[in-house]
Structure 1
Amino acid sequence: MVLLWPVQVLAAPTWHTIQTDNFNIHYTQGHKAWASSAAKELEIVRDKVWQQQNRGLGTKADVVVFDPYHAANGFALPSTDSPLMALFTTPPQSDTVIANHNSWQQLLILHEYIHLVHLSQPSRHVWKQTLRDVWDLYDVSETMMPRWVAEGYATLLESKMTGRGRLYDNYSEALLQELAQQGALLSYQQLNDGNHEYKSKSMAYLLGARFLAWLEQRYSQQTLDAVWIRMRAVTARDFTSAFKGVFAEHPATLYRRFTAEYTYQAMAKEQQEPELPSRLWQEYAYGARSPVLSEDGSRLAIVEYDKKGRIKLNVYQSEDDPDAEQKFEEKQRKLLEKDPLDVVEVRPKVFAKKRLFSLEPFNFSGIRYPHWLDNNTLYFIASTVDNANSNQRRGELFRWSLTSNKVEQLTQNQAIRRFTLADDGQSIYAEQVAYGYSELVKIHLPSAQVTPLFGKQLSTLYDFPVFNATQQKLAFLKHTINGNWQLYIQDVDTNKTIPVPLPKGYQYLTQPSWASDGSALHFVAGKNGALDIYRYELVTGALYKLTQGQALFQFPTAYEHGSLLYLSSGFEGVDMYLLPVLQGELVNELESRHQSGNENALADEQMRNVYSVQLPPAQIYEDEIPSQQYNIWRQNASLALGAQYASTSTTLFDVGLKGSDFLEQLSWHIGHTHDVSHGVLKGSFAKLRYQYNQLQLDVHGFDFEIDSTAETSSTPINDKQHGVFAQLSQQYQWGQFKLRAQFAGLVGKQAQQQQSASVHWLRAGIQQSWLYDQQSFAIGQKVSGYRVKGQTSEQDWQGQGFSASLYGKAFYIPMNVSYQYAKRQDQALQLGGFSSSLLSEMRMVNVIMAPELPFYSAQGSKYEGLSGAITLKESYPWLYYQQHQLDEQSYAQSYGIKWSTQLNGRTWLGKFAPAGLSDFKIDMGMSRVEGERFEDENRAWFGLWYDL
């Protein structure tokens, strides 16, 4: 059957809700089957966790089912009254640390629900819990634990309640054993966030879970559980004090003992391993994956990434580089010429291969799974932005011509992960993932026609399709619910599919690759906490084990004369090795095709020490569960407190109430602001925002007074205003090009120097932006303009404004310059002051905000501003320079540092966060301000407030 990809991928999502006794599950229409099954699984997990822990949630949890990044993940935001779980429906691939599961849905739900139950327990201190009930920001701050504790405990229970998971995963165990043998297990202080060594950020999960399991085994489950009880006591305790009160030791002390024992066991294992007859073939700076040789073997393409996750697709010459050896010899010769008694460097284990080509991502994220079409053309997968939702990304196929350095996107809306080329590059076999379904399909690229190879089911996953043109055979991996990954070979001419025999007791299985002539298939399998390379021979049907667990084997690749290249990693990163031709050890004990994954996983129950309460075997529940359109009127509210300080004169305190529905489609904020220092600013406000896809409506009601007579101002003003403001905006996006149209208006009254007047104005504006991002280099621009017409009392006025900014990045260092222009006829422009919950910049049409200057510090009819800034990293503070001109004369210049961040709807966490967290903004700065009309001085500002 031939299918075209569903057109609703392009449509904006419509949300629906399934309500159960304990959960509200929100999903988009394509995810209905996944969400319906999750609704049943959620209640089962809740009941089993209650049996195991005697703990639950005191309120219904919101659960969002979606697929933002086309990758396996999820997150939880603990709270005593607004707990949240986000479930990403794309399943994990076979070579990840989360591949060991009965079903992705079950493992994910259990892990995230444990986070909520573990971290959302109420305090037994009455007044503290009362404050948590009414103030979201304080509530969430009280749920925090060290990252390794939160993730380690969820990983521990994910494993002990299913018999699978990362605690019992062969890849995870082999990785930790390798690090232990290298003396590279993290210290206690490094366990939370890693130390920039390879895979160190994963250790909060992998080492954290094993340390907690060690504590349970050495002491008891009840002893560890007492730590969580003590953390919610009337007496305030952090994790360390709660831990010491139970174990009588600092957690770092026991962690040292745990790592010592683990290292001892790893070293004992190493002593039993035979010597591996491989040699180093290529060193990489840090991370590397997905190596692939060109058909003639002369070039090797590989994806590399550094400690900061920056990716490149590099192409190397596969033969040794004589120039590298010559340069080394020349360097040693010069050393001895300068100092004949010097000792020259030891000859390196291997000289670097010559790099021929390199590609960085541009306007797409990541580069994955390269494949050669010919010696000068590579295909690869990268993630692109979904035009219907700028927060969503999907995997698409790209082609890179090495000679011309031209990159072309070949597919649209195909949601591809791994793939293999067929029909001379006219078609691909690929794993296609949408709405939680993993399918193996054939895509004819010129026509974009998609042909499924098998029927799709949520209970079945596919990975690693590998086509051999010589034999016309397709190898692929398949995972069925409650089982392990299996390896199959299909004859594409006859569609006959046969299973590949696998070693008895295996659990981890991944990365199949064909021998050069297609006569054999190599792959990596894990057993007893070790990984090995296997070879399956098609003619004889024999399975051979080529290694004995001596390394962390990955990506076996056929090389010349029957040898193999493979990757292996340690704490410094990944390197490539050459394994000579080996007959290997014939595997006689093979896995029965009828044995379940749970039986494999629980082969040694005493060693695994699973809990007595276990989840039932996973299944996809297909019962029809009623759902309803998402209800924006189901609102949650929270106390909203804010504070802002500016050394120019003002210290503000905000108190209010903020609310929203779960998806932040309808949000509101009411409150009062008061200056607690000099009385410069006070007032009240009510705000409402409605968002539907790319349409946004903002409505503000306001009543405030600014008295700048106490400030350093050339024109002291007492300004009172009240009224209603509204703005409607719509955004359009085509790739990296964005366009936003805005229409706004205000009706109110204003009183200055005891003169009262009615005010109304209308403004129409447009904003356009574009970005070209090539990781180490970027350039982008933003242009906006507006026209405004208004009336104050009987006086008509009008004006216009324009701003332009140029953003750039060179050698990963961000920088920008911007220009702002505003002009009014028959109306004054005011300069100075800062945005706040009370004074929104979008509403103050005749005010140019500048936090380093006092409110209304100067006025004029024409304003021009020029600024520039640079920073080491986008999340770091910016070093900036700003110049202000009024009526063709320089008024002030400032320079210093500034920084701002916000939890808002531009991130998924901000979009789903409770009302008391979303739109929360932090900004700060320190600057030197100079001007001819005032004394030069140092100024600073700091704010914690809500920018709805």
Structure 2
Amino acid sequence: MARRVLFLTLVLIGSRFAAAQSPSAAWRTIETAHFRVHFPAPFAPWARRAAASIESIHERVSEAVGFRSGRSIDLLVEDPAATANGMAFPFLDRPFIVLWTSPPEPESGIGDWTDWMEDLVTHEVTHIVHLTRPRNRSRGILARLSPLPFGPVALNSPRWVAEGYATLIEGALTGAGRPASSYRAMVLRRFAIEGKLPGYAALSGTSGWLGGSMAYLVGSSFLEWLEAKEGRGALQKLWKRMASRRGGSFPSAFRAVFGKSPSDLYDRFRAEVTAAGIEEEKRLAAAGLVEGEPWQRLAGGTLSLQISPDGTKLLARRDPKRGESFLAVWPLEETVRERESEERRRRREAEILRDPNEVADRPEVPRPRPPKWRLPTANGFAAGNPRWMPDGKSVLFTRRAPDSDGVLRLDLFSWRLSDGSVHRVTRLADVVEADPAPIGQRAIGVRSRYGVSELVRVDLASGATRALPVAGASEDPWRVWSHPRLSRDGGTVAALLHAQGRWRLVTLPAEGGEIREVPLPGSPAGEPAWSADGSRLDVAADREGIWNLESADARGGASSELLTRVTGGALAPAPAPDGKALFFLEITARGVDVRRLVLPTPGLASLGRRAEAFPLLPRERAPAAPFTRSDVAPDRPYRIWPSHVIRPLATWSIGPDGSAWQIGVEGSDVVGRLDWVAAASIGNAAGPRGGSLALSWRGFPVALSAQLFSALERPGRQQVVHRPELDADRVGVFLDASWGRAFSGGRIRVDAGGGASRVEPLEGGRDFDRALFSVRGRAALRRLRVRSGFGVELDGSASAGRTDRHSWNQFVAGGGISAFLPMARLTASGRAGNTGGSPTRFDLFSLGGAPSAVLPEGLDRNRIELAALPAAVQLGERVESLRGEAALRGLPLVL
């Protein structure tokens, strides 16, 4: 419970401003009965479509959850990372939802949907309705004043409950989503067969292969099992019990409804699913498995398999563990070095076995082979969707890079294997993937921006893109394209197209034209591939409820042929250029293996689906009742006050200069244009004590801020170092303007401001005025490959002012360089500053003391804050400092 409260506290702190895109953008708003839908102007078509359906979705979700709230919900539409996602923040005072418009790929865990917008909105609205249920007969005023504005269901629900239930409702109301998908069935089936379903303690975890997905996939299946066991409405009873006046933890509420603890019933569920998985494995084995031979057993994720045009190398994207991703290339044949290494191993093994007390180790088959070439992450951004260039010496791939507002956009890059060099092909083109033509001068790709997906032609020399004219499926303006593949003669494009509620395999001329669907006995997933002779298309499809490889006539004539029968799922066919073998991926409980299938294969008869095998096989798809779409009001410019909330604030600090506590209130709107804090500080010793009113306006490209303050400081009362000459009571104001820009691997920022204060020296003397103008510039640059690299930071400021009729000026310049190592970050930094003119003691550099929320930073740039030292431990007109530090990765420790 304590960990959950800490997590929700961090969520609250990190989500004061919900918008990831710039608050100064041209945000618009559409209002419905229960929602305020906010969006930057280019997202208007997607947002208007969401607003038209959202009241119907909200009504159906409220009925399913068994709770209705009249509170308005803010919803933000954006796309800051070029990836499919959504978030819900179930605050009682201002619940809000964030929707990212990029659609998911068909082979992803969220790739099964009838309408991506409806699926995403249903899932996130369920979070809000489910988790914002207040305590029964709670005292509303106390809930509003709580520093943590969460209800009892949000505070007490394990992650698997929150995510599993939203996933369950997503499937129940849309008829699609994860509960209806072959993906969820695949994960449950294969993990059950291998005895690897997570224990109850790991159900909410995020570690390990697919660990973060278990709350959604296994959690939703467990909740379905519970309701089937206890009867319809059992989950609604659980939510009511969790919000009951009787209180209690989640396990106690669960036991009150289901009669046993959640861990006990989950163990039973896991046992039943494991038994069913083994039974399903026997059924498939009896029908005859066609799995090919293992080529490499790999831990973690593997995607985008392809054989080089000359048939000598294998390309894939690897994600072996969280935070690690790279493009990998293996030679198909063993290298001389690998053969020599194996021979040495055999000789060592033979020497050991001469001892009769030794036994031979069972060799691992196939023998693990590390890739010969790797392209790791750069500046934290991973490469994706790799495709061989026609020469077989370079790879075309996509990678994210920030635009000037910090929004991540996908572009094309090329990687040359011989020297490891990387060249950027497009800039801010939003091309999520592309396949190069056989001549290598152009590529056919998918562009996705503002929720709209389209095929584009890319000039690989100039990086220019233009939309490919497409005829057919025009009645669905929200169709989604994925994985375009050019035929070996470059004349035809094969791709997956989501239109009219499902994925389809289609072809069209490479110059654009009429779409032709290639019929399949199931829904396709993953990348299609042209056969060696160009007459057929290989792709994964789920005709038996299991992803297996199909070979279809590219002209759409004869029915497709089933090539594989696996227990997990087969994806990403990669035919050899000579047509004698087909490499593919198979999902296991450990990761994604690479397998090799000899061609041709014997014909396989379809097994069909067994309804009783659910959830290890998906049910036959039954259409769900469609959501109603209503007319919505015209959009209007975004206004800050409807979503503005006020929350209590409490912080504290302890150091050699004394202890201080700040209490007050803060206010913000959901986009983050206006942010203000009114706080009072109390404490002992040096202080400062007093009050402050600060506000920031981010509605322009240049952020504006102002701060009024009254501060009493008494460094003369410090126990370690007494500075009575600096005891003062100050009242003042500071105005500031800030501008920043992001670029690939770095960021720059410039601040300029001015202020004035009235100073009353407490050691005696007359009151006087102090005024100044200051400018500060900062720049940071990082160049990282995986976790290794370097970083450079520059920081400079200049101030000019007048204190008690004495003019002065001051500058500080500094910089640092960091070495990023796999286990630590080593940093060396320094700065130097000088003061000119006729400064008073209040203008000199002052070393020591902790930051304060009361005093504006720009008004006291002469303060060199070091929380470990008392305030003003040293004073002077000049300052020089050198600092070295070692930050150990994964440990909150700086040396």
Does the pair score TM above 0.5? Answer: yes
Say whether the 8 Å CA contact 2:660–2:682 is kept in structure 1. yes
| Cα distance between partner residues in 2 of 1:244 and 1:142 | 15
Q: Deviations over 1:386-427 (max 9, x none)?
A: 22x11x111111111222322111112221123211261222
289, 292, 295: which is aligned to 1:278?
A: 292
Q: How does 1:2-17 map to 2 (within 5 A)?
A: 13-17=25-29
692, 708, 711: which is aligned to 1:701?
A: 708
SS in 2 for 1:217: helix
TM-aligned CA deviation for residue 580 of structure 1: 1.7
Q: Deviations over 1:18-40 (max 9, x none)?
A: 11111111111111111111111
Q: How does 1:136-535 map to 2 (within 5 A)?
A: 137-139=148-150, 143-144=154-155, 145-196=157-208, 198-273=209-284, 274-276=288-290, 278-321=292-335, 323-337=337-351, 340-341=354-355, 342-353=358-369, 355-363=371-379, 365-373=381-389, 374-387=391-404, 389-390=405-406, 392-422=407-437, 424-446=439-461, 448-454=464-470, 457-470=476-489, 472-481=491-500, 483-492=501-510, 495-503=513-521, 506-507=522-523, 509-535=525-551
Q: TM-score, normalised by structure 1?
A: 0.85
Does residue 554 (structure 1) correspond to residue 571 (structure 2)? The answer is yes
What amino acid does structure 2 have at the position aligned with 1:841?
E
Q: Deviations over 1:497-546 (max 9, x none)?
A: 4321211xx34533211111212111111145422111113476241112
SS in 2 for 1:670: strand
Q: Deviations over 1:746-779 (max 9, x none)?
A: 2111122133221111112322222222222222
| Cα distance between partner residues in 2 of 1:740 and 1:750 | 31
TM-aligned CA deviation for residue 837 of structure 1: 1.9
Say whether the 8 Å CA contact 1:470–1:517 is kept in structure 2. no
| Cα distance between partner residues in 2 of 1:770 and 1:471 | 41
Say whether the 8 Å CA contact 2:792–2:817 is kept in structure 1. yes
- Identify the range of structure 1 (568-577 vs 506-515) with the bigger mean alpha-carbon deviation: 506-515
What amino acid does structure 2 have at the position aligned with 1:541?
A
TM-aligned CA deviation for residue 105 of structure 1: 0.6
Task: Tell me the residue number matched to 2:770.
Answer: 759
Say whether the 8 Å CA contact 1:820–1:864 is kept in structure 2. yes
Task: Tell me the residue number matched to 1:37.
Answer: 49
Cα distance change of structure 1 residues 477 and 561 upon mapping to structure 2, 3 Å threshold: closer
Q: Deviations over 1:260-312 (max 9, x none)?
A: 10011110000111233521112334322111111111111211123123211
- Identify the range of structure 1 (39-48 vs 628-637) with the bigger mean alpha-carbon deviation: 628-637
772, 782, 785: which is aligned to 1:774?
A: 785
| Cα distance between partner residues in 1 of 2:630 and 2:445 | 27
Task: Tell me the residue number matched to 2:665.
Answer: 657
What amino acid does structure 2 have at the position aligned with 1:683?
G
What amino acid does structure 2 have at the position aligned with 1:479?
H
TM-aligned CA deviation for residue 623 of structure 1: 5.1
134, 137, 156: which is aligned to 1:122?
A: 134
| Cα distance between partner residues in 1 of 2:153 and 2:845 | 45
Task: Tell me the residue number matched to 1:643.
Answer: 651
SS in 1 for 2:268: helix
Q: How does 1:752-901 map to 2 (within 5 A)?
A: 752=761, 753-755=763-765, 756-811=767-822, 813-825=824-836, 826-827=839-840, 828-873=844-889, 876-880=891-895
Task: Tell me the residue number matched to 1:94.
Answer: 106
Say whether the 8 Å CA contact 2:134–2:151 is kept in structure 1. no
| Cα distance between partner residues in 2 of 1:494 and 1:837 | 60
Say whether the 8 Å CA contact 2:712–2:730 is kept in structure 1. yes
| Cα distance between partner residues in 1 of 2:743 and 2:340 | 51
Does residue 726 (structure 1) correspond to residue 745 (structure 2)? The answer is no
SS in 2 for 1:530: coil
Task: Tell me the residue number matched to 1:596.
Answer: none
TM-aligned CA deviation for residue 610 of structure 1: 12
| Cα distance between partner residues in 1 of 2:492 and 2:618 | 39
What amino acid does structure 2 have at the position aligned with 1:170?
S
What amino acid does structure 2 have at the position aligned with 1:239?
F
Task: Tell me the residue number matched to 1:926.
Answer: none
TM-aligned CA deviation for residue 590 of structure 1: 12
Does residue 688 (structure 1) correspond to residue 695 (structure 2)? The answer is yes
Identity over aligned residues, as a percent?
25
What amino acid does structure 1 have at the position aligned with 2:159?
R
SS in 1 for 2:195: coil
| Cα distance between partner residues in 1 of 2:311 and 2:352 | 42
| Cα distance between partner residues in 2 of 1:445 and 1:38 | 36
SS in 1 for 2:52: helix
| Cα distance between partner residues in 2 of 1:334 and 1:589 | 48
Q: Deviations over 1:223-247 (max 9, x none)?
A: 2222211222223322222112212
What amino acid does structure 2 have at the position aligned with 1:741?
V
Q: TM-score, normalised by structure 2?
A: 0.90
| Cα distance between partner residues in 2 of 1:770 and 1:648 | 34
Say what the alpha-carbon RMSD is for the aligned residues.
Answer: 3.0
| Cα distance between partner residues in 2 of 1:262 and 1:576 | 27
| Cα distance between partner residues in 1 of 2:186 and 2:425 | 38
Q: How many residues end up aligned between the 2 structures?
A: 853
Say whether the 8 Å CA contact 2:300–2:320 is kept in structure 1. yes
Task: Tell me the residue number matched to 1:27.
Answer: 39
Q: Which consecutive unaligned segments of at least 5 residues does structure 1 have?
A: 1-8, 592-599, 881-948
Q: Deviations over 1:63-122 (max 9, x none)?
A: 001111111111000012200101111111111121211100100010000000111111
What amino acid does structure 2 have at the position aligned with 1:242?
A
- Identify the range of structure 1 (44-53 vs 821-830) with the bigger mean alpha-carbon deviation: 821-830
What amino acid does structure 2 have at the position aligned with 1:638?
I
Say whether the 8 Å CA contact 2:819–2:827 is kept in structure 1. yes
Say whether the 8 Å CA contact 1:799–1:823 is kept in structure 2. yes
- Identify the range of structure 1 (792-801 vs 806-815) with the bigger mean alpha-carbon deviation: 806-815
| Cα distance between partner residues in 1 of 2:587 and 2:62 | 40
TM-aligned CA deviation for residue 10 of structure 1: 13
TM-aligned CA deviation for residue 819 of structure 1: 1.3
Q: How does 1:582-597 map to 2 (within 5 A)?
A: 582-585=600-603
Task: Tell me the residue number matched to 1:667.
Answer: 675
Cα distance change of structure 1 residues 324 and 843 upon mapping to structure 2, 3 Å threshold: same
| Cα distance between partner residues in 2 of 1:493 and 1:380 | 22
Cα distance change of structure 1 residues 14 and 136 upon mapping to structure 2, 3 Å threshold: farther
| Cα distance between partner residues in 2 of 1:714 and 1:156 | 64
Q: Which consecutive unaligned segments of at least 5 residues does structure 2 have?
A: 1-20
What amino acid does structure 2 have at the position aligned with 1:698?
S
What amino acid does structure 2 have at the position aligned with 1:470?
D
| Cα distance between partner residues in 1 of 2:200 and 2:430 | 40
141, 145, 148: which is aligned to 1:134?
A: 145
TM-aligned CA deviation for residue 453 of structure 1: 2.9
TM-aligned CA deviation for residue 153 of structure 1: 0.4
